[in-house]
Chains A and B, each alone.
Chain A
Amino acid sequence: MTLIVEMRDLTHRYGATLALDHLNVQIPEGAIFGFIGPNGAGKTTTMRILTTLLVPTGGDARVGGFSVLTAPRDVRRLVGFMPDFFGVYDNMKVWEYLDFFGHAYSIPAPRRAGLISDLLELVDLDHKRDDFVMDLSRGMKQRLSLARTMIHDPRLLILDEPASNLDPRARIELRELLKELRALGKTIMISSHILTELAEMCTHIAIIERGRLLAAGDVQTILRSLQPHRTLELRVLTAAERVEPLLRAQPDVLDVRFAVADALAAVPVPSDDQEAAASDEFAAPMPGLAGAAATLSADDEAPAQPTTFLVDYAGDERGMGALLTLLVANGVGISRFAEQSSGLEDIFMQVTKGIVQ
């Protein structure tokens, strides 16, 4: 695995405030690296150091093997930076904007002309070539900004909150564009507060808070490290009352829970005379799954209402197969048996829990 970014004890202070505290992060080449943290965590400071806009007070960061301290110019050649704001020049056309930055990155004029056309095509702005930059919509400006970031063909793109203030359509377009860029072999470091978006595209993440690294690595590894057991989701159509006793008898089953939302959906609309009894059943604290399951399966003759169980399971895939076989062999009708995947939001909340509050 080739590393494109290596931060070693990266530290930065703003006066008495410690913005980065001995940060050690590595980004493999070709990754989409999500940089996550609450406001004031140090994301922008890290990105500014990596783009050589800020000199760290301690430690070092290397981009493509070049130190931001000793070879900032070489680092700049490798990095394309898109800040969380879009700078607009008055009286400048779209092609002139790209031409200026191409020139600023020492790209010769004959090469710039073709490059600008290619980039405008990539970000779907070729029809806006001669329009003034300030007349573009916010989404278009963001795409143009991405084209500017790409003008010198950098290996690493650093995007600070690129989706902020974009409407849903522009966000989707930007996300698709980033996927295209990854397919072109670019490494993308991206910070965002919209974790669901990052979850869809990131291969690696780092979570920082108050300048300290809380977790880093590829998404699956972090998920496994934070959640050592699997959570299985079972959707049961018939014989739901047998599920819990069967599962609890298995040594690798840690816990069996009942999906409450599903239970509520499954509750038949009570008639006037049944209302009090039904409300009692759900208002009272659930004594146990057996009781809940029994309540739901009491009306066995009625059309089967699916029931969802969440099972914390410490076994492997082979064990999962055996579990399914056991349930089916005991006459349990199952329409769904799947491992529930935790999202980035779950990881974020778990890792930052207690420190944020």
Chain B
Amino acid sequence: MAEFNPVLVKELRGRMRGPSAFMLLTGYLLLLGLVTLLLYTALADSAGSELNAGQRIGKQLFIVIATVALIEVCVITPALTAGSIVGEKERQTYDLLIASLLSPWQIVWGKLAAALAFALLMIVSVVPLMSLAFLFGGVSLAEVLIALVGLLMTALLYATVGLFWSAIMHSTLGATSFALGSIIVMLLGIPFLAAIFTLIFAQGTTPEWTRSALFIYLSGAFVSIHPFIALGLTETLLNAGDSPFFSVFDPQGANITIPSPWLAYVVLAALFSIVLLWFSVRMLRPEPPIAKQARAT
């Protein structure tokens, strides 16, 4: 029987041994549970005897749980991988790995898979909480599945961001700082640029090219790399009765079919992840002939 990747086995052994993994998972679920409880209390009080109160509570519970879970995945997954490769350098085990028969891809994949396995555990543990929304109604299975796929792709993308910085930096602190920093820049930068763009063109006559299909696709892709915007827009479009897979955009009578933002997000996140993984693997190759700085001999 084929064996698992040795790095994956080692990482899982290390991660799941001791109390830290269970404490992290417990804290994560406690926070989600607490938010759910507080939200339910607030919604139940304000709902009164409204006919559709159950559906409204269910929908809002689902959105809040998914959002909090997404925030936690955005923060935790890069932190899981940011120390993975640079940690080997700090523990002075990096050379031993590189000098073994493990390929750089095996090392990177083992590290990523171990982080994703833990992220998957976190995401799966959210499912019972998310399913509470079904008790109230108002949430479709498609919405839940799209949310789970969105969480998974976010975990993949941000884990590779952490891995990339881990392969480049020389300390875990530096790698974690840069990983979280770049994610914050991305999460805040995209809405900021979108808002600036909107403000500029909202003041005068909108140029013709902003209604072209190319611009619509490009701007759609730009905002769809943001998980909160992509998944939030998807939810809005689903509520408006659109298909879970595509929408028809009609700026000036010309019907333009665009993929649902969550689909665009999945594709873009996968592409970015592949590029970041490729760079990470490149960084793990033996030192090239022209080293940038002198090493103590």
A19→B9 CA distance, assembly (Å) = 38
Contact A55 B91 (CB under 8 A): no
Closest partner residue, chain B, to A57 (CB atom):
B289
With beta carbons under 8 angstroms apart, the residue of A17, A39, A72 that contacts B294 is A17
Stretch at the interface among B24-32, B93-101, B115-123, B135-143: B93-101
Contact B287 A100 (CB under 8 A): no
With beta carbons under 8 angstroms apart, the residue of B7, B13, B96, B290 that contacts A148 is B96
Contact B288 A55 (CB under 8 A): yes
Interface residues as binary, A29-69 with B (CB distance below 8 Å gives 1, 0 otherwise) = 00000000001111111001001111111000000000000
Stretch at the interface among A89-97, A172-180, A263-271, A311-319: A89-97
In A81-106, which residues have CB < 8 Å from any B CB? 81, 83, 85-92, 96, 100-101, 103-106
Is A15's beta carbon under 8 Å from chain B?
yes
Interface residues as binary, B169-213 with A (CB distance below 8 Å gives 1, 0 otherwise) = 000000000000000000000000000000000000000000000
Contact A87 B100 (CB under 8 A): no
With beta carbons under 8 angstroms apart, the residue of B9, B92, B291, B296 that contacts A100 is B9
A17→B297 CA distance, assembly (Å) = 11
With beta carbons under 8 angstroms apart, the residue of B14, B287, B290 that contacts A89 is B14
Q: A43-B297, A77-B101, A105-B100 are in contact. Are A100 and B95 (CB under 8 A)?
A: no
A79→B294 CA distance, assembly (Å) = 25
Is A3's beta carbon under 8 Å from chain B?
no
Contact A41 B297 (CB under 8 A): yes
Q: A43-B297, A76-B99 are in contact. Are A92 and B289 (CB under 8 A)?
A: no
Interface residues as binary, A138-158 with B (CB distance below 8 Å gives 1, 0 otherwise) = 000000000010001000000
Assign chain A's interface to a size class.
35 or more
Assign chain B's interface to a size class.
20 to 34
Interface residues as binary, B17-59 with A (CB distance below 8 Å gives 1, 0 otherwise) = 1100000000000000000000000000000000000000000
Contact A76 B100 (CB under 8 A): yes
Contact A100 B99 (CB under 8 A): no
B-side contacts of A81, CB under 8 Å:
95-96, 99
Report the minimum CB–CB distance from A17 to chain B (whole Å): 5
Q: A91-B13, A109-B3 are in contact. Are A53 and B95 (CB under 8 A)?
A: yes
Main secondary structure of the interface of B (DSSP, over half): loop
Is A73's beta carbon under 8 Å from chain B?
yes
Closest partner residue, chain B, to A16 (CB atom):
B294
Pick the most buried of B17, B102, B294, B297: most chain A CB atoms within 10 A of its CB: B297
Contact B18 A15 (CB under 8 A): no
A41→B29 CA distance, assembly (Å) = 56
Report the minimum CB–CB distance from A259 to chain B (whole Å): 40
Is B10's beta carbon under 8 Å from chain A?
yes
Contact A53 B287 (CB under 8 A): yes
A43→B290 CA distance, assembly (Å) = 19
A109→B295 CA distance, assembly (Å) = 37
Report the minimum CB–CB distance from B50 to chain A (whole Å): 53
Instruction: Add 12 more A-B contacts to A105-B100, A108-B3 (CB < 8 A).
Output: A14-B295, A44-B296, A51-B99, A52-B286, A55-B287, A85-B92, A88-B92, A88-B93, A91-B18, A103-B3, A104-B7, A105-B101
Could you give 6 example pairs across A and B, Cβ below 8 Å? A13-B290, A15-B292, A41-B297, A45-B295, A57-B290, A79-B99
Top 9 nearest A-B pairs by Cβ distance? A87-B93, A103-B6, A14-B294, A104-B100, A87-B92, A57-B289, A85-B92, A91-B17, A45-B297
